[in-house]
C-alpha cells in the first residue's frame, strides 16, 4: 500500500496569549508572558498562586450553529479553535465527502468544572440536585462530539486522554488514519480548562507548580537553572490535517507536512520522568525513522520544556542521545515559557507554533532564560525570536504515565 502524505491546511488556537491563532503567534514571537496571578488558586490556599488563563473569551459570540454558551468550557475552547481552523483551511461542506472527514481531540481532564459543580449540588440536595445535562457537558469526548456536530463530520471521531501527550496522540493518530486511507480530512488537536480548582490543587499538592508568585511573568523558565516548576494553563489548539492530493486538488494553502510520528512509553514511573530518557529517545527516533530522515536533517525542536527540574534535563539528555553531535547545531525553544503548560492542549498549541516556524522561518524564544544549567546545555533560543530557515522540525510531548510522542514537521517549498 502506498502511504499517503499528510498536509496541514488550517490552524486555530485559543490560548492565554490570544483568542485566535494570529494574536497567539504574534505574542509568542514577541516573547510576551501570559502568566498572571490566579485569584481562585490563592483563595483555595494553593502554594502556587499563578496561572496562564484564557482571558476575554466570549463563547456566546462564536459563529456556531450550536448554543456554545451552554457547552462546558473545554468544549467551548475546542469549538472556537476548530471554527478558526476550518475557516483558515477554506473548507466547505459542499466540497467534501463528510463520511471521510473526522475529528480527534485530546484532553487531560475534560470539563472538571462541571464535575465540581454537580458534586456540590449532590452534597447539598442529593441525587435530585444533579443536573441531567451533567453527563454530556462533562464527558471528555464532548469537544470532539460538538466539533463533529458543528460541521457534520461522519468519519472517525474520538478523544484521547493520555494526559499532557493527549493532543500529540490525537494528531499522530489522525495522521495515521489519513496515511492509510481511512480519512481525507481530520480536525485534530487538544483542549483544557482550569476554571475548576481541582487540577491546579492536585498539581500544587504534588509540588509540581512554580511558586514564583510575586513575579508571575518570570515564573515559567524552561531549562533555566533556577526553574522551580511549571505554570498551569488552559486553552485549545486545532490543526486541519488533510491528504496531500486532496488539498492540492482544491487549491488549499499548505502550511507544512506531518512527515513522521513517533510514540513510546517509558514504563518507568507514573509521574517522574525516566532519567535515562529511554521513552523520549525512542519517540524522537521513531518520528525521524517514520519521516525517512536523519538526525542531521533536524534544524529545530519545539520542546516539551515544562520548566521542571527533572523533565527539562531528561529532554536535553534525550536530544543528545538522538541527535548526537548535531544536537549542538539545532535550535530548541519552549512555548510553555510564555503560555504555561496547557496540559491536554499543550502539544496542539506547540505544534501550531512549530508549523508556523517551518512556514515563516521564525523561531519563538524561550523566555526567562537567564542562568545556564549544566544539565541543560543546548541552544534554547533565549529571550528573543530568531529568523532561521527550518526544513525539518520535531515537536515533543511527554506526559504523566510515561507517554512520549514526537511529531516531525517538514517544510513545503
CA angle 110, 219, 334 (to 5 degrees): 70
Single out the catalytic residue among 46, 101, 164, 293. Answer: 164
| Cα(254)–Cα(102) distance, integer angstroms | 19
Contact 34, 105 (CB under 8 A): no
Q: Is 61 exposed, middle or buried (0-12, 13-18, 19+ CB in 10 A)?
A: exposed
Single out the catalytic residue among 169, 246, 304, 364. Answer: 304
| 304: annotated active-site residue | yes
| Cα(187)–Cα(102) distance, integer angstroms | 6
Tell which residue, 102, 129, 108, has the closest CA to residue 118.
129
Q: Which three cell numbers stand for residue 364?
A: 519563538
SS (H, E, C) the chain: CCCCCEEEEEEEEEECCECCHHHHHHHHHCCCCCCEECHHHHHCCCCCCEEECCCCCCHHHCCCCCCHHHCCHHHHHHHHHHHHHHHHHCCCHHHCCHHHEEEEEECCCCCHHHHHHHHHHHHHHHHHHCCCCHHHHHCCCHHHHHHHHHHCCCCCEEEECCHHHHHHHHHHHHHHHHHCCCCCEEEEEEEECCCCCHHHHHHHHCCCECCCCCCHHHCCCCCECCCCCECEECEEEEEEEEEHHHHHHCCCCCCEEEEEEEEEECCCCCCCCCCCCHHHHHHHHHHHHHHCCCHHHCCEEECCCCCCHHHHHHHHHHHHHHHHHHHHHCEEECCHHHHCECHHHHHHHHHHHHHHHHHHCEECCECCCCCEECCECCCCCECCCEECCCCEEEEEEEECCCEEEEEEEEECC
Single out the catalytic residue among 146, 169, 341, 364. Answer: 341
**Residues carrying an active site annotation:** 164, 304, 341
Amino acid at each position: 500500500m502506498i502511504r499517503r502524505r499528510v498536509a496541514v491546511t488550517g490552524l486555530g488556537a485559543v490560548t492565554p496569549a490570544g483568542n485566535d491563532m494570529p494574536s497567539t503567534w504574534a505574542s509568542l514571537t514577541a516573547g510576551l508572558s501570559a502568566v498572571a496571578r490566579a485569584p481562585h488558586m490563592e483563595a483555595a490556599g494553593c502554594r502556587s498562586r499563578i496561572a496562564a488563563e484564557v482571558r476575554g473569551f466570549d463563547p456566546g459570540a462564536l459563529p456556531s450553529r450550536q448554543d456554545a454558551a451552554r457547552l462546558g468550557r473545554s468544549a467551548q475552547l475546542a469549538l472556537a479553535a476548530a471554527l478558526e481552523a476550518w475557516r483558515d483551511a477554506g473548507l466547505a461542506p459542499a466540497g467534501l465527502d463528510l463520511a471521510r472527514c473526522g475529528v480527534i481531540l485530546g484532553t487531560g481532564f475534560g470539563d472538571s468544572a462541571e464535575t465540581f459543580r454537580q458534586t456540590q449540588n449532590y452534597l447539598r440536595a442529593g441525587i435530585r440536585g444533579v443536573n441531567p445535562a451533567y453527563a454530556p457537558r462533562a464527558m471528555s469526548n464532548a469537544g470532539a462530539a460538538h466539533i463533529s456536530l458543528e460541521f457534520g463530520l461522519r468519519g472517525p471521531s474520538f478523544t484521547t486522554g493520555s494526559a499532557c501527550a493527549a493532543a500529540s496522540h490525537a494528531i499522530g493518530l489522525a495522521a495515521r488514519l489519513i496515511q492509510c486511507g481511512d480519512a481525507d480530512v481530520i480536525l485534530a488537536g487538544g483542549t483544557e480548562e482550569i476554571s475548576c480548582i481541582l487540577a491546579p490543587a492536585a498539581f500544587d499538592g504534588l509540588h509540581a507548580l512554580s511558586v514564583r508568585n510575586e513575579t508571575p511573568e518570570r515564573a515559567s523558565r524552561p531549562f533555566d537553572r533556577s526553574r522551580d516548576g511549571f505554570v498551569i494553563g488552559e486553552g485549545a489548539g486545532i490543526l486541519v490535517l488533510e491528504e496531500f492530493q486532496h488539498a492540492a486538488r482544491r487549491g488549499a494553502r499548505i502550511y507544512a507536512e506531518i512527515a513522521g510520528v513517533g510514540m513510546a512509553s517509558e514504563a518507568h514511573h507514573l509521574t517522574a520522568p525516566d532519567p535515562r530518557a529511554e521513552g523520549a529517545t525512542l519517540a524522537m527516533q521513531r518520528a525521524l525513522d517514520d519521516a525517512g530522515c536523519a538526525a542531521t536533517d533536524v534544524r529545530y525542536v519545539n520542546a516539551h520544556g515544562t520548566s521542571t527540574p527533572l523533565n527539562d534535563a531528561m529532554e536535553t539528555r534525550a536530544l543528545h542521545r538522538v541527535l548526537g553531535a548535531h544536537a549542538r547545531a539545532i535550535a530548541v525553544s519552549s512555548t510553555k515559557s510564555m503560555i504555561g503548560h496547557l496540559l491536554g492542549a499543550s502539544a496542539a498549541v506547540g505544534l501550531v507554533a512549530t508549523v508556523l516556524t517551518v512556514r515563516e522561518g521564525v523561531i519563538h524564544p524561550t523566555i526567562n532564560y537567564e542562568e545556564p544549567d549544566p544539565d541543560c546545555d543546548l541552544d534554547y533560543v533565549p529571550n528573543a525570536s530568531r529568523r532561521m530557515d527550518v526544513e525539518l522540525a520535531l515537536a515533543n510531548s511527554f506526559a504523566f504515565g510515561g507517554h512520549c510522542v514526537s511529531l516531525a514537521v517538514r517544510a513545503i517549498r
